[in-house]
């Protein structure tokens, strides 16, 4: 069946062609179709007339299609296709590597050997994993990512071409022009549109997702946990301040009516870090999820099936900043969501820097791990945070600052959970909650959570964990449905007992 397709090189051409004929949005970004007579590759939802089966070739990634000598369609715009959401162990390395490359790990002097070492593998293993999964080498994937982002910026903004090149991750204008002409058979300026998304000091772009998408429920979840001064929700917009490296600014995002797109508006000061920013935003909003695959696995479960069938597009909210989310998780231990949000606001007020934005409610940057690591225990307890949690926050900040710990998604999330649990004041609930949201592990499951146990009708964490075995590898999504069943307004959710 088509629905059984997973992220791998094993593309069944007949299944792919059926999805193409149906223009099935569930497979947008799962594969790309190349048309041999035109030399163009498209998304399976392309509005152009469907080519004959004999003229179609199918690829697991846009990069693989480009390596075959095809150029992207100007109608369906492959650069807007959502990404993959693999969960099987064999592709975790490729997933983690692709995510790091997407945010620029191979830009600005980055190399494959360093990336492989950070992921705990050899460069040979890394190259093999990407070749088997996406059909390309790490360098080829990085080049395609840069070109596709450049294509989007050329199409949707009025940024000068020089700025487009550097914002996309190219180290030189000469290299950008040469590769663009070589791959796309036209100079960059020919993609310019008159009506584009640059307005004053702000930039407008779009991000895609696979339907269905329960935006209102995701927004309510984020609203209840929005850090005062750093995040704000209003009129279907999610807004926040941003600090990435030396870049500081703001962004806001909301759905585009009638389309499977989100509109993103951001300050021009963030253009230099666009690859990392857009990747983090996709993770925060879980835009690369496969709701069809997840729902097909969970919808027949007697406990959560009704919620899954009613809300098949429920997402797992991620984190724009892993440290920010991890601190929020520590503050949420044994207290209400509202109380933890208040404490998070105090941390931002006392340790975050002011930030100018067009929105009165969003005016501070989140406290960085470096700034917290330099604080004293008394500085934190003075905010009303009890001593054990202050110690946990300090230990976390220092581990991240020294490089002893990473909260980036990686190929071995179980090992990351174990390392988190070695820090004082961080137990399984906190570690799994962090893995679920910051590390984007779809099988994380904070089974000791009081809300989850109450919703599942199980007083014992052990029995809930046994029940959850049937939900693997999507336990994080099952947790969201359990919270949604108990707290449909989104005002509560996690509560460690």
Q: Taking the alpha carbons of 28, 71, 145, 77 in that order, is the dihedral positive or negative?
A: negative
Hey, how many other C-beta atoms are within 10 angstroms of the C-beta on 16?
22
Cβ pair 394, 377 in contact under 8 A: yes
Q: Is 421 a catalytic residue?
A: no
Of 167, 191, 215, which closes a domain?
191
Answer whether residue 285 shows pLDDT above 80: yes
pTM, entire model:
0.90
In a domain? residue 491: no
> Which residue carries 């137990």 as its tokens?
427
Q: Say if residue 209 is in the same domain as residue 142.
A: no
Instruction: Give the domain range for residue 43.
Output: 2-75
Residues 255 and 238: their CA atoms lie apart, in Å, by 10
For the sheet with 56-59, list strands across it.
56-59, 32-35, 40-42, 71-72
Q: Which value, in Å, is the radius of gyration of the alpha carbons in the chain? A: 22
Average pLDDT over residues 45-53: 95
Render 27-80 in DSSP notation, one character per residue: GBTTBEEEETTTTEEE-TT--SPPPPGGGEEEESSHHHHHHTT-EE-TTT-GGG
Q: Which of 250, 252, 254 is nearest to 268 (CA)?
A: 250
Bridge-based pairing of strands 32-35 and 40-42 is: antiparallel
In a domain? residue 437: yes
Cis peptide before 473 (omega within 30 of 0): yes
Answer whether residue 69 shows pLDDT above 50: yes
In a domain? residue 101: yes
Q: Say if residue 47 is in the same domain as residue 100.
A: no
Q: Is 449 a catalytic residue?
A: yes
For residue 51, give the DSSP letter.
P
Answer whether residue 132 shows pLDDT above 90: no
Query: Among 55-59, 331-335, 432-436, 474-478, whose mean pLDDT is lowest?
Result: 331-335
Q: Say if residue 114 is in the same domain as residue 143.
A: yes
In a domain? residue 331: yes
Average pLDDT over residues 7-19: 75
Number of structural domains in the chain: 3
Render 254-287 in DSSP notation, one character per residue: EEPTTSSEEEEEEEGGGGGGHHHHHHHHHHHHTT
Q: Taking the alpha carbons of 157, 162, 166, 172 in that order, is the dihedral positive or negative?
A: positive
SS3 category, 57: strand
Q: Which of 28, 286, 288, 449 is catalytic?
A: 449
Answer whether residue 86 shows pLDDT above 80: no
Quick: pLDDT tens for 386-403.
999 999 999 999 999 999
In a domain? residue 123: yes
| Structure confidence at residue 11 (pLDDT) | 76
Which residues does residue 428 pair with via DSSP β-bridges, in sequence order? none
In a domain? residue 94: yes
Of 19, 41, 75, which closes a domain?
75
Q: Which of 422, 433, 216 is nearest to 311 (CA)?
A: 216
Q: Say if residue 210 is in the same domain as residue 356.
A: yes
Of 46, 75, 104, which closes a domain?
75
Q: Taking the alpha carbons of 190, 194, 195, 200 in that order, is the dihedral positive or negative?
A: positive
Q: Which of 42, 46, 73, 76 is catalytic?
A: 42
Share of the chain above pLDDT 90, in %: 83
> Which residue carries 């002011």 as its tokens?
354
Quick: pLDDT tens for 345-358.
999 999 999 999 99
Quick: pLDDT tens for 459-497.
899 999 999 999 999 999 999 999 999 875 544 445 443
The model's confidence at residue 88, banded by pLDDT at 50, 70 and 90, is low
CA 298 to mean position of chain CA atoms: 22
In a domain? residue 337: yes
CATH code (residue 253): 3.30.310.20
Q: Say if residue 208 is in the same domain as residue 300.
A: yes
In a domain? residue 116: yes
């Amino acid at each position: 069946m088509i629905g059984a397709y997973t992220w791998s090189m094993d593309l069944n051409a007949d299944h792919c062609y059926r999805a193409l004929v149906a223009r099935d949005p569930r497979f947008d970004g799962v594969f790309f179709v190349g048309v041999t007579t035109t030399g163009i590759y498209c998304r399976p939802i392309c509005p152009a007339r469907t080519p004959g089966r004999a003229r179609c070739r199918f690829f697991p990634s846009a990069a693989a299609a480009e390596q075959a000598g095809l150029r992207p369609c100007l109608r369906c715009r492959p650069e807007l296709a959502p990404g993959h959401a693999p969960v099987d162990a064999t592709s975790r390395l490729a997933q983690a590597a692709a995510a790091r490359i997407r945010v620029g790990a191979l830009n600005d002097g980055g190399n494959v050997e360093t990336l492989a070492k950070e992921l705990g593998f050899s460069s040979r293993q890394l190259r093999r994993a990407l070749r088997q999964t996406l059909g390309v080498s790490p360098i080829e994937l990085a080049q395609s990512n840069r070109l596709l982002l450049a294509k989007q910026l050329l199409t949707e903004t009025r940024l000068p071409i020089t700025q487009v090149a550097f914002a996309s991750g190219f180290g030189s204008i000469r290299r950008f022009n040469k590769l663009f002409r070589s791959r796309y058979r036209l100079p960059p300026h020919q993609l310019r549109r008159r009506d584009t998304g640059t307005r004053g000091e702000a930039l407008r772009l779009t991000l895609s997702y696979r339907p269905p998408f329960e935006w209102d429920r995701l927004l309510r979840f984020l609203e209840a946990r929005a850090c005062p001064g750093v995040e704000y929700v209003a009129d279907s917009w999610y807004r926040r301040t941003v600090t990435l490296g030396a870049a500081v600014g703001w962004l806001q995002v909301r759905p585009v009516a009638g389309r499977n797109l989100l509109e993103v508006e951001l300050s021009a000061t963030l253009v230099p870090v666009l690859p990392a920013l857009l990747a983090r935003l996709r993770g925060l909003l879980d835009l690369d999820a496969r709701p069809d695959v997840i729902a097909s696995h969970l919808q027949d479960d007697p406990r959560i099936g009704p919620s899954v069938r009613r809300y098949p597009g429920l997402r797992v909210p991620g984190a724009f900043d892993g440290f920010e989310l991890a601190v929020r998780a520590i503050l949420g231990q044994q207290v209400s969501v509202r109380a933890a949000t208040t404490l998070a606001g105090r941390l931002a007020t006392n340790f975050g820097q002011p930030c100018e934005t067009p929105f009165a409610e969003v005016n501070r940057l989140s406290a960085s791990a470096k700034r917290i690591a330099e604080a004293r225990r008394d500085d934190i307890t003075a905010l009303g945070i009890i001593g054990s949690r202050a110690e946990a926050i300090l230990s976390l900040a220092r581990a991240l600052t020294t490089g002893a710990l990473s909260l980036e998604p990686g190929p071995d999330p179980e090992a990351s959970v174990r390392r988190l649990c070695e820090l004082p004041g961080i137990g399984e609930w906190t570690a799994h909650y962090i893995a679920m949201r910051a590390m984007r592990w779809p099988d994380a499951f904070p089974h000791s959570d009081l809300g989850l146990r109450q919703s599942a009708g199980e007083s014992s964490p052990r029995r809930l964990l046994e029940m959850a075995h049937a939900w693997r590898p999507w336990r994080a999504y099952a947790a969201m449905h359990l919270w949604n069943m108990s707290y449909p307004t989104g005002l509560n959710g996690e509560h460690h007992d």
